């Protein structure tokens, strides 16, 4: 059945903590160099939330959005938080954010899809809007990655940072704008390449799980790198073919920011030049669910996006989870 509405982004906001951890800082705490980190990952700095939790990152991003666009929090219908670092198992971070921002009429939930979290939450939020049932859906990607990072493990600690970013989705009858199409995938066979081993119902927390450092990120970087390069590039290319798009048609690729080399490989496969690839990995590292929306916020605020621009969002992460979404920018 032909849908009546498309979901469009009508407002944006973000929050990064002030505290900066640059590469020189990591040279002091683990056996690494600025040169290795920059050339292997593209990262120069990341942010650290010293006090507070993911709900604070998410609420600050939401408040930035609400203030910038003078939106009454009581008009928000739904809050979806993409995160792998919820404040606690339950209640959902969405409940904590609902209270913090005063969204008294909203319901909401958390969505766990790691680095693809924002893409999955965006599709979910858009579907709620397209159904015609909900008019204002807040989709937030937020992660306090520092809370699950082992700062003695040089393989992982240099990669991650803390951030939150939010978009508001609303309906439009103009089908040329907003979310046009998505291809989203999961493959649980990747579960042991990137995961947190302890803390869940499989390995509930014990002294032993703490001693074995099972509450931190574990990643087989090399294995993930290989599948991420292929997965993100393949799905983005498939989405382009499906929608009859060439590299020239696309104003921006907005890739998940895990590694500049993965981003470059995806752009090459899509035939997209580097000036049309949104990048903020150098400033924030991998902020998991916040990478894609924070890029959108920063490039929009820098005046680099205009109404009608064709944009591909693409991500790859733990699970495995991956996908790409095609949107047409809707804000002046």
Cβ partners under 8 Å of residue 241, min gap 6: none
Of the candidates 149, 266, 286, 325, which one interacts with ligand UT7 according to CB under 6 A? 286
Considering only CA atoms, which of 223, 245, 159, 179 is closest in space to residue 10? 179
Using the rule CB under 6 A, give the single segment among 134-142, 179-187, 221-229, 263-271 that binds ligand UT7.
Answer: 221-229
| b/e per residue 85-108 (b: at least 16 CB within 10 A) | bbbeeeebbbbbbbebbebeebeb
Using the rule CB under 6 A, give the single segment among 11-19, 57-65, 243-251, 255-263 that binds ligand UT7.
Answer: 255-263
Q: Is 294 helix (H, G, I), strand (E, B) or coil?
A: helix
Using the rule CB under 6 A, give the single segment among 82-90, 150-158, 176-184, 305-313 that binds ligand UT7.
Answer: 150-158
Quick check: 36 binds ligand UT7 (CB under 6 A)? yes
Count the site residues for ligand UT7 by CB under 6 A: 19
Quick check: 236 binds ligand UT7 (CB under 6 A)? no
Query: Pairing state of beta strands 137-144 and 310-317?
Result: unpaired
Q: Which is nearer to ligand UT7, 237 or 320 (CB)?
A: 320
Q: Tell me how far, at minimum, the Cβ of 113 lies from ligand UT7, in Å.
A: 11
Looking at the DSSP assignment, which residues form a beta bridge with residue 258? none
Tokens of 242: 């499906």
Q: Is 82 helix (H, G, I), strand (E, B) or coil?
A: strand
Contact flags string 108-137 toward ligand UT7, x per CB under 6 A: -------x----------------------
Q: Which is nearer to ligand UT7, 134 or 322 (CB)?
A: 322
Side-chain-side CA neighbours of 235 within 13 Å: the count stands at: 25
Of the candidates 93, 236, 259, 321, which one interacts with ligand UT7 according to CB under 6 A? 259
Contact 253, 314 (CB under 8 A): yes
Catalytic site residues?
Answer: 115, 256, 286
Positions touching ligand UT7 (CB under 6 A) are: 32, 36, 40-41, 115, 154-155, 158, 221-222, 224-225, 228, 258-259, 262, 286, 316-317
């Amino acid at each position: 059945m032909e849908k009546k509405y498309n979901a469009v982004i009508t407002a944006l906001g973000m929050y990064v903590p002030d505290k900066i951890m640059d590469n020189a800082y990591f040279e002091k705490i683990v056996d690494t160099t600025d040169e290795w980190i920059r050339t292997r990952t593209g990262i120069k700095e990341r942010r650290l939330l010293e006090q507070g939790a993911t709900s604070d990152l998410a609420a600050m991003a939401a408040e930035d959005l609400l203030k910038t666009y003078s939106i009454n929090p009581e008009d928000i219908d739904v809050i979806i938080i993409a995160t792998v670092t919820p404040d606690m198992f339950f209640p959902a971070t969405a409940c904590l954010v609902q209270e913090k921002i005063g969204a008294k009429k909203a319901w909401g939930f958390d969505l766990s899809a790691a680095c693809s979290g924002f893409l999955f939450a965006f599709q979910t939020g858009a579907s709620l809007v397209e159904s015609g049932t909900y008019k204002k859906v807040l989709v937030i990607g937020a992660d306090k990655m520092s809370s699950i990072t082992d700062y003695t493990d040089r393989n992982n600690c240099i990669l991650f940072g803390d951030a939150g970013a939010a978009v508001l989705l609303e309906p439009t009858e103009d089908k040329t704008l907003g979310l046009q199409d998505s291809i989203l995938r999961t493959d649980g066979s990747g579960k042991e390449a990137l995961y947190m081993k302890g803390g869940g119902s499989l390995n509930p927390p014990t002294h032993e799980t703490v001693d074995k450092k099972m509450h931190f990120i574990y990643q087989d970087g090399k294995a993930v790198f290989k599948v991420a390069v292929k997965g993100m590039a393949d799905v983005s290319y498939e989405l382009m073919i499906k929608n009859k798009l060439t590299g020239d048609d696309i104003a921006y690729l907005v890739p998940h920011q895990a590694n500049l080399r993965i981003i470059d490989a995806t752009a090459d496969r899509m035939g997209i030049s580097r000036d049309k690839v949104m990048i903020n990995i150098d400033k924030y590292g991998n902020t998991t669910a916040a990478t894609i929306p924070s890029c959108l916020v920063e490039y929009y605020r820098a005046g680099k996006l205009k109404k009608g621009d064709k944009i591909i969002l693409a991500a790859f992460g733990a699970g495995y989870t991956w996908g790409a979404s095609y949107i047409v920018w809707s804000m002046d």
